[in-house]
Amino acid sequence: KRFRLKRIREFWASIVVALTLYSIYLVNQQLESKQVLVVYLWGQSPPLGGSFEIDALSIFMSGTIAFLGLLVVIYSSKYMEKEGRLTEFYTLVLLMMAGMTGIVMAGDFFTLFVFWELMGLSSYVLVAFLKSRWGPVEAGFKYLLMSATASAFLLLTMSLLYGMAGTLNFAYLASSLRGSNRPCEVWWKKSYFNR
């Protein structure tokens, strides 16, 4: 019975990842007619709502994440069966994959931050998953501290960008920064035009 339950968990985790790969394929079919597919979250357009911006690079990265996730689900079952907590393990792997996929498809800093935290929280627990030994727990705690510091700086940067530009959307930020090269004006004009 225990072997059968393990196989059912592995089967469902593999099905979820396979459906993710198929979804990425379907989105790629939609993308072929456009350069970028934009999906606004919560029915709000920028600067208020989050968004996904899907292009060829994000499709490639999402496919890579899903393919590697499928390999992890398939090949980790033998290694993790002695730990006995396969349901938690597969849940954390799938949450981490969802976070990574959301990061590569994010269209603004808010969406990126939400999925960064989803990926981070699930990866902290995965690092410290073998809690019967002290080494993984210590490594997970150190990883948590380093990643929390990075998240704090990302949040600070987001607040500064929002204060300066009034938006967190990548496309709006790029268009507002495109015309200005203020940091370069100081030396650029003198080095190339005063000969």
* pLDDT value for 104: 94
Count up the domains in the chain and report the number. Answer: 1
Is 190 a member of any domain? no
Is 114 a member of any domain? yes
* pLDDT value for 184: 55
Is 19 a member of any domain? yes
Q: Tell me: pLDDT of 186 over 70.
A: no
Helix or strand or coil: residue 18?
helix
* pLDDT value for 85: 74
For residue 96, the surrounding DSSP H or E stretch is: helix 86-105
Is 98 a member of any domain? yes
Distance (Å, whole) CA 101 – CA 114: 12
Nearest CA-CA partner of 132 in 81, 83, 87, 80? 83
Strands (E), the chain: 37-40, 51-54
Condensed to tens digits (0 to 9), the pLDDT of residues 57-102 reads 898 999 999 999 888 888 887 777 776 777 788 888 899 999 999 9
Residue-range definition of the domain harbouring residue 45: 2-184
Is 127 a member of any domain? yes
* pLDDT value for 25: 85
For residue 48, the surrounding DSSP H or E stretch is: none
Longest CA–CA span in the chain (Å) reads: 83
Nearest CA-CA partner of 62 in 33, 88, 26? 26
Is 145 a member of any domain? yes
Is 103 a member of any domain? yes
Q: Residue 49 contacts by C-beta under 8 Å, 6 or more apart in sequence?
A: 40, 41, 42, 43
pLDDT band for position 46 (cuts 50, 70, 90):
low
pLDDT band for position 1 (cuts 50, 70, 90):
low
pLDDT band for position 106 (cuts 50, 70, 90):
very high
pLDDT band for position 2 (cuts 50, 70, 90):
low
Is 95 a member of any domain? yes
* pLDDT value for 105: 92
pLDDT band for position 103 (cuts 50, 70, 90):
very high
